[in-house]
Each structure stands twice: as C-alpha cells, then as structure tokens.
Amino acid sequence: MFRSLSVVNYRIWFAGALVSNVGTWMQRTAQDWIVLTQLTDYNATAVGIVMALQFGPQLVLMPWSGLIADRFDRRKLLMLTQALMGALALGLGLITITGVVELWHVYLFALGLGVVAAIDAPARQTFVSELVPDDNLSNAVALNSASFNGARLIGPAAAGLLTVAVGAGWVFMINAVTFAFTVAAMTLLRTKQLRKQPRAPRERGQLMAGFRYVWHRPDIVAVLITVFLVGTFGFNFAIFTSTMATVEFGMGASEFGMLSSIMAVGSVVGALLSARRSRPRMRLVVGGAFFFGLTCAIAAVMPSYITFAISLAFVGLTSLTLMTTANAYVQTTTEPAMRGRVMALYMAIFAGGTPLGAPLVGWVADQYGPRWAIGVAAVSGLLAAAAVLFWMIRYQRLRVRIRPRTSPRTARLHVRHRGDGHPLTSAIRIVTAKADAARQDRDRETATREIAVVEATAPR
C-alpha cells in the first residue's frame, strides 16, 4: 500500500506536499466562511462565484499549461508556482487582518490563485512520474490523494477553530508559510535520482497534439465524460457543507469545519484502498460514479447534523475512489511525452467545469435549499455512471450475463468487455466448490464420449 514511500525523493515530496495541503484546506475553509458570513448575508451564490474564479482559469489556460508542463523542467516550474501562491495567500491575509477586505478583493485573489494553479496543476500531477518507477505510479497517485485528503482531516477543523479564535486573516497567513515547506522540499530532492521524462519537441502543432491524442483514445474520452459531470455538478462540497451547516442546521464555523474533516475520513480510506490496487480499472470509474450519486442522495435526506456528518464520510469514500482511479488510469495509460497535455485537459475538465456548476448549484441552494443542491450532485453521479455504461455497451461490447445452473448457489456472473485499454475479455465466476467439482466431472464425461465418437467414425 505504501510502496512508493520506499523511494527517497517521493518521501521528501510527500512530506512537503502534506504540510502545504493542510494550509490549502485551511485557506479554503476560512475563505468560504468569510464570504458566506462576513462579506455577504449567507449568499451561497457568492461562494460559487469564488470557486468559479479560482478554478475557471484552468479551463482557459489548459492548452498552454499542459504544453509548459511537457516542455520545461517541472521541478523548477513547481518551485515558482508554489512561491507565487504563497505570496497571494500572504496578500489576502494582510488585507483581511487590517480589516479592509471586501468581496471584490476575495474575487480578485481567487482569480489570481486560479491562474497560478492552472500552471501548477499539470506540472504537479505529472512530476510524480519523475519520482517513482512506472510500476509504482498508480500507487503514488493514490498516496498523493491520501495526502491531500488526509490534510482535510486537519485543515478545515483547524481553520474553524482559528477563525473563531484569531480571525480568518491569520489562517491565510499560516497558509502562506506552508508553501515554503513545498519549496524547501523541492530543493532537497536528489536531482540525479529523478527519472527524466521525454520532453515535447519545439515544433508547430504541439498544442493540438494533445487534443488529437485524446480524440483517438475513446477510453480516456469516457473517463473525461465522467470527470466533467461529477466535477462540474457534484464536487461543490464547499457549497454543500457551508449551507447545510449554517442554513439547515444553524451551526457555526467550527461545526462547518468539522464536516469537511469528517468527509476527509472517507476520502482517505478511499485513496488508501486505491493505493492497494496494482492497476486502475474502468469498471471502478463506473462503480465509483454510481455509488457517489447514491451516497449524495442519502446525505441529502439526512435529518440531523450528526447523521448528515456520518453520511459525508461515505460521500468522501466514493468520491475519492472515483477520482483517484480516473486520475491514475489516465496517467498510467498515456504516453510520457503527452502526459502533461493530457493531464492539463483532465484537470481543466475536472476543475474548469466549476465555473459552470458552482454558481448553478449555489443558486439552487439559495432558491430551493441546500438539500436540493446535494440532489444535483447525486444526479450528476448517476448520470455519469449511466453515460459511461452506455459507451461501454455500445462501443466496447460490454456484456453482462447471469447463467443459472441446477441450483441458485451455482449461478455464474459473466462480465465481458473490451474496456480498460486492453482487448482482453474479463469474466467473473460465482460458483461453489461442490458445483465446480461437479462441472469438472461432467466435462470429463463429455470429453470421454466425444473421444469415443471420434474413434468410432474415423476412417481406418
């Protein structure tokens, strides 16, 4: 499960990223809180606009950010982007502490952070391939997700307590300091042990090459459809948790932060379970989307704060199973020279859909209540699962058959398809040991009769 941590460079990277991730979750929580309670009168639409400005640049800058990640030294690029994000957190913290912050200031800083993050995301995603061998790449991707969501256990809860105790401005200042840990980790890496990946050539047409590559990979297209639907309409957790905590249950900042931490428990479990798998599978993407929709539907009808918090753990489990599998599948099946551009497209579809979905989900929460907003997330997961299932049945020849035998205990479930990027046919059998032995006896008897017939009819 933790085999990637045996690599020295990955351990250094993992430690620096973990500290930075804690700060990131602290800032997200404090930022959403001051927008919802201090700068507006519980306006969920404003929270959605902040999310849209923060994630929108990934959609606009995606072609260039992916090419930058494929062409330049990713280690030096990450040092630059992390330093810039630290400076932005410092600026937001200063104007918040001095009491001059207004809503448009938060919008502006969210946009600036989104622009830098658009360059940072594909480089950070693909840099993992330089830290670990190819056979550990899927495991490293899953551990990165565990780190990011493990930080969610600490960050939101700490942000909720600190916001009450000293104010949101100091939370932003702390986040600025945490970016220094990532920069320090990048300087400590053993550069001679990095696995340099092929760089994109300096020639015309490289921007469109990523799109052409994905267009000819229908399996990746299916994953991207799932990521778009769920990322756009389902992964608006800041809106769900903030409005449910305040509007529906009448809670404060610490209870709001606790909801994100409880969700992170399930997210960490989902990421660690993904780390145990040697290879990501398409069927896990479909199953993850379906169960994400199901758990969101259950969360939407929970009657109390406690039951809602418990249901969020399962939402976190299913969401991370889905996204970690999708991320690992795209990375491990993409050619190294194209990985930056493909991951930029992946991140653009995942995060760039937020400008479309977050304001809409915020509007639903304002007009009809937060439970209906979570219902939108549930529908997105179920639609994503249905869309990819249709694609696999129509184009990948997915077939599911149940063959009953002499007893209900001897049924066989066969799942046959050409998905997962492999031409192989997979089959799942559900049989009892006794029934299996009986089948072997019948097969031997049939084979004996066939041999006898052949001997009797063969010409002498």
Domain boundary among 195, 225, 253: 195
Same domain, 120 and 262: no
In a domain, 439, yes or no: no
Asked whether residue 263 is domain-assigned, the answer is yes
Decide if 212 is inside a domain: yes
Is the domain of 140 the same as that of 168?
yes
Locate 434 and state its tokens.
């006794």
From first to last of the 460 residues of the chain, give the pLDDT tens digit. 677 888 888 889 888 888 888 888 888 888 888 998 888 888 878 888 888 888 778 777 877 877 787 788 888 899 999 999 999 999 999 999 998 999 999 999 999 998 998 888 888 878 888 888 877 777 887 787 777 767 767 787 788 888 888 888 999 999 999 998 889 999 998 888 887 766 655 666 566 777 788 888 888 888 888 888 988 888 888 788 888 888 888 887 777 778 877 887 787 787 777 767 667 777 788 888 999 999 999 999 999 999 999 999 899 889 888 888 888 888 888 887 787 778 778 877 877 676 778 888 888 888 888 899 999 999 999 999 888 887 777 766 666 565 655 555 545 445 555 544 444 343 334 333 444 444 555 555 554 544 444 444 444 4
The reply to whether 238 and 383 lie within a common domain is yes
Domain of residue 104: give its range: 1-195
Residues contacting 6, CB < 8 A, separation 6+: none
Q: Are residues 10 and 141 in the same domain?
A: yes
List, as one string, the DSSP characters of 353-412.
Answer: THHHHHHHHHHHHHHH-HHHHHHHHHHHHHHHHHHHHHHHHHHS--EEEEE--SSGGG-E
| Cα gap 401→424, rounded to integer Å | 17
Asked if residue 254 and residue 126 are part of one domain, the reply reads no
Closest listed residue to residue 258, CA positions, set 161, 185, 176, 394: 161
Quote the longest CA-to-CA distance of the chain: 104
| Residue 84 within any structural domain of the chain | yes
Residue at 432 is within a domain: no
CB 47 within 8 A of CB 246: no
190 shares its domain with 225: no
Distance CA 267, CA 317 (A): 5
Instruction: Classify residue 438: in a domain, yes or no.
Output: no
Domain ends where: 156, 172, 195? Answer: 195
CATH code of the domain in which 320 resides: 1.20.1250.20
Residues 183 and 217 placed together within one structural domain of the fold:
no
Instruction: Name the domain count of the chain.
Output: 2
Domain end position, chosen among 195, 229, 252: 195
Q: Are residues 140 and 265 in the same domain?
A: no
Do residue 56 and residue 167 come from a single domain?
yes
Same domain, 3 and 93: yes
Same-domain status, 152 and 214: no
Among 288, 310, 289, 308, which residue's Cα sits nearest to residue 300? 308
- Domain check: are 252 and 187 in the same one? no
132 located within any domain? yes
229 located within any domain? yes
